[in-house]
Amino acid sequence: MSDTLRSAERRGPFEWELPVGAVPGMRVPGRYFLSESLAATLEEGALRQLANVATLPGIVRCSLAMPDIHWGYGFPIGGVAAFDQDEGVVSPGGVGFDINCGVRLLATPLAEGDLGEKAGVIEDLYRAVPVGVGARSPERLGKAELRGMLEDGAASAVSRGLGLERDLERCEGRGRMEEADPTAVSEKALARGLPQAGTLGAGNHFLELQVVDEVYDPVAAAAFGIEAGTVAVMIHCGSRGLGHQVCTDYVRTLESAARRYGIALPDRQLACAPIASPEGRAYFGAMAAAANYAWANRQTITHHVREVLGQRFGLAPEDLPLVYDVAHNIAKFEEHDVDGQRGPVCVHRKGATRAFGPGTPGLPPGLDRVGQPVIIPGSMGTPSYVLRGTEEAMRLSFGSTCHGAGRVLSRSGAKRRFAGKAVREDLQRRGILVRAPSDAAIAEEAPGVYKPSGEVVRVVDAVGLGRLVTRLRPIGVIKG
């Protein structure tokens, strides 16, 4: 056992803390939430990253990690950290390369039996939504439309007829960050983003047909528009090559800036700059623009999903309402209580999602009494869950919770252990159809690559980082 792991102190049934001093230079403790079984998969590298984040200037309260914690770039995935807006820093490693990788859920009036030949539905969706590393949009967007995506997010797609006005109400922040600065986005990033609007991408991105097979909180489920026994559609993707390039560009810029501002970094992957500095403002503006692109991207995919289901089942867009859309990899200015005082902080969520509780300003009408919908995907063969945000999350984690099950194997390790063809056939025997560009893509995302989603959400619910509302069983998956 390493010194870092040895220094961890148990604070409750599911709460652990790394005290100041676990690694040199920590300004605040590190805190994480795990069950005994999840702790058995905890990587030393992820825990050290959690402690390293606690060394950054202006961090407030503590460095946090959610129950899906695993090793990432700079910050652990599942990491949450808030920084004082005057004395703190902003870090690309605290957001990630896939800026605003996020997930949205569509409700439908269909039962599983209404789908008929399920393979045909999956095939139609696969043709309608481009997938894979080099996926290109069938749309021919110009620079004006791209700028609209960067400035206005989901609203830019709705304005072009790719959605409903109500969709914006059901997006975190109405699917837009007002701090977006397209002029801070490089020409290379713009060139990568121009042909990729409305594409799913690769890696862990997916489009999944699911059945609502358990309702734990009927009141919240009704408020969200989710009904037991119905089919739902989950979409998980982000800002594609544009967001990746923004992160790549600014990791280099902010690594130099950190040296200029005299910031000592325990890990160069924590490249950062003061929030108020020119470099910090430029990154934040570019990151916000990439986040807006991601919301527009998911909105465009939503439109194509509605087209397919509308044509097959005679449904109007209004029959396929958006339950909610949440961001996973993002930094935002928010109001939170710190040391008994409420004030603005810059909250980094890296593989973590908002879980704002009842009464939080900005929640859509009808949801302010129950809390924000929280969408936690499983893997291809395991359930996904919808939870609601809580007052406990506001107090414990700056209104944050986990974003998924969390990997336990790298992609290369997954391909060594699993055969894509065998995974696909096993899932088919369980009634789950999988469509992907290759068997290698399936192997990389095999259910065994991830922590058990049920155990992750059990911890979330027990701690109060979210409260269970519904469980969703996968029946058809399109992988990027």
Measured CA distances, 368 to 70, 139, 223, 355, 360 (Å): 32, 37, 10, 12, 7
Q: What are phi and psi of 30, to 5 degrees?
A: -105, 135
Measured CA distances, 56 to 24, 27, 68, 328 (Å): 11, 7, 22, 21
Whether 403 is catalytic is yes
Measured CA distances, 306 to 301, 310, 459 (Å): 9, 6, 34
The DSSP code sequence of 359-391 is T-TTPPTTTTTT--EEEE---TTS-EEEEE-BH
Residue type, 292: N
Element (H, E) at 302: helix 278-313
CB 49 within 8 A of CB 74: yes
Give 15's contacts (C-beta < 8 A, 6+ positions apart).
31, 32, 33, 463
Left if phi > 0, otherwise alpha if psi is -120 to 50, otherwise beta: which for 312? alpha
- Report CA Rg, the chain: 21
Task: Give all strands (DSSP E) within 21-177, no chain letters.
Answer: 30-33, 63-70, 77-84, 89-90, 102-111
* The one catalytic residue among 205, 328, 348, 403: 403
Question: Up-side HSE of residue 175: CA atoms within 13 Å toward CB?
Answer: 33
Token pair 């039962």 in the structure block, residue: 111
**CA neighbor of 14 nearest in space, from 469, 471, 349, 461:** 461
Give 371's contacts (C-beta < 8 A, 6+ positions apart).
220, 355, 356, 357, 358, 360, 363, 388, 389, 390, 467
Tokens of 99: 């800026």
CB 317 within 8 A of CB 310: yes
**CA neighbor of 82 nearest in space, from 277, 358, 335:** 335
- Alpha carbon distance 329, 333 (integer Å): 14
Token pair 């973590």 in the structure block, residue: 352
Instruction: Give the catalytic positions in this structure.
Output: 403
